[in-house]
Amino acid sequence: MDDRTFRNAMGKFATGVTVITTSQNGEVRGMTANAFMSVSLDPKLVLISVGEKAKMNEMIKETGKFTVNILSEDQKEMSMLFAGQLKEDRKVDFDWIDGHPILPNSLASILCDVYDAHIAGDHTLYIGKVTNIHMNDGDPLLFFEGKYRNIANPSNVG
Ligand code: FAD
Ligand code: NAD
C-alpha cells in the first residue's frame, strides 16, 4: 500500500488539533499534533504520537514533561506556525503554569509528566500523567481530509 492511500484513509478520521509544548533551559518549543487521545481516568493519562525526526521528540525525552494545548477555531495560524507551514517566523508569548509553557487562548491546556514511552515504527508514543489542566470556552479547530474546518461552517476549508 502506498503512503498516500494510508494518509487519505487516516484523514477520514476527523480530529481536533493540538500544539504540544515543552521547555528546556528557558527555550520553549511547540509542535502541531492531531495524534492525541484520552487513555485512563484512574490514573489520569493521555497519549500523543511524535515523529522520530521531530525536534519535539528529543526535547520531550530530555524534559520528561509536555503540555497538550487543544486549539480553538481562532488558532489556525498557531497550528500552521507550529507545523512549519508559515513562511515567516512569529514571536509567540506563552503563559506559564507550574513551570510549564502553555499556549494562551487554547480551549484546554493539559499539563503532563511522561508516564511511559513506546517506540512504534517511525513515531514514539508518549503517555502523559496529567498534573494540571487550564480551560477556556470556545469552539474547536478541526482537521478532516488534510484540511482545517470549523464546527459552525464545516464546509469552510483552509
Ligand atoms: P520544528 O519543525 O522545528 O518546529 C515546527 C515549527 O514551529 C517551526 O516552524 C518552528 O519555527 C516553530 N516553532 C517552534 N517553537 C517555536 C516558538 N517557541 N516560537 C515560535 N515558533 C516556534 N507530527 C507528529 O509527529 N505527530 C502528530 O500527531 C502530528 N499531527 C499533525 C497534525 C496537523 C494538523 C499538522 C498540520 C501537522 C502534524 N504533524 C504531526 C506534523 C508536525 O507538526 C510537523 O512535522 C512539525 O514541523 C514537526 O515539528 P518539530 O518538532 O520537528 O519542530
Ligand atoms: P495528510 O493528508 O498527510 O494527513 C491525513 C492524516 O494522515 C493525518 O490526520 C494523520 O492521521 C495521518 N498522517 C499523516 N502523516 C502521517 C505520518 N507521518 N505518520 C502517521 N500518520 C500520518 O495531511 P497534510 O495536510 O498533508 O499534513 C501536513 C503534514 O503534517 C504532513 O507532512 C504530514 O505527514 C504531517 N502530519 C503528521 C502526522 C503524524 O505524524 N501523526 C499527523 C498529521 C499530519
Out of 1, 6, 10, 34, mutate this one to test ligand 2's pocket (max ligand atoms within 8 Å of CB): namely 10
State in Å: Cα 29 to ligand 1 middle. Answer: 9
Q: Which ligand is nearest to the CA of 148?
A: 1
Question: If pLDDT is split at 50, 70 and 90, which confidence band does 87 have?
Answer: confident
Q: For 33-55, what is each residue's pLDDT tens digit?
A: 999 999 999 999 999 999 999 99
**pLDDT value at residue 89:** 84
Distance CA 69, CA 111 (A): 9
The pLDDT value recorded for residue 139 is 96
Q: Is 54 in the pocket of ligand 1 (CB under 6 A)?
A: yes
Ligand 1 in contact with 92 (CB < 6 A)?
Answer: yes
pLDDT digits (tens, 9 = 90+) for 96-115: 999 999 999 999 999 999 99
29 lines ligand 1 (CB under 6 A): yes
- If one looks up domain 3-150 in CATH, what number appears? 2.30.110.10
Buried/exposed 76-102: b ≥16 CB within 10 Å, e otherwise: bebbbbbeeeeeeeeeeeeeeeeebbb
Average pLDDT, stretch 51-72? 97
- Rounded to whole angstroms, the Cα distance separating 46 from 112 reads 8
Q: Is the CB of 35 within 6 Å of ligand 2?
A: yes
Annotated domain spans of the chain = 3-150
> Per residue in 11-33, pLDDT tens?
999 999 999 999 998 899 999 99
Q: Is 68 helix (H, G, I), strand (E, B) or coil?
A: strand
The pLDDT of residue 37 is 98
Ligand positioned closest to the Cα atom of 35: 1
Q: What pLDDT, in 10s, does the model give residues 114-150? A: 999 999 999 999 999 999 999 999 999 999 999 999 9
Residue 133 CA to ligand 2 center (angstroms) comes to 27
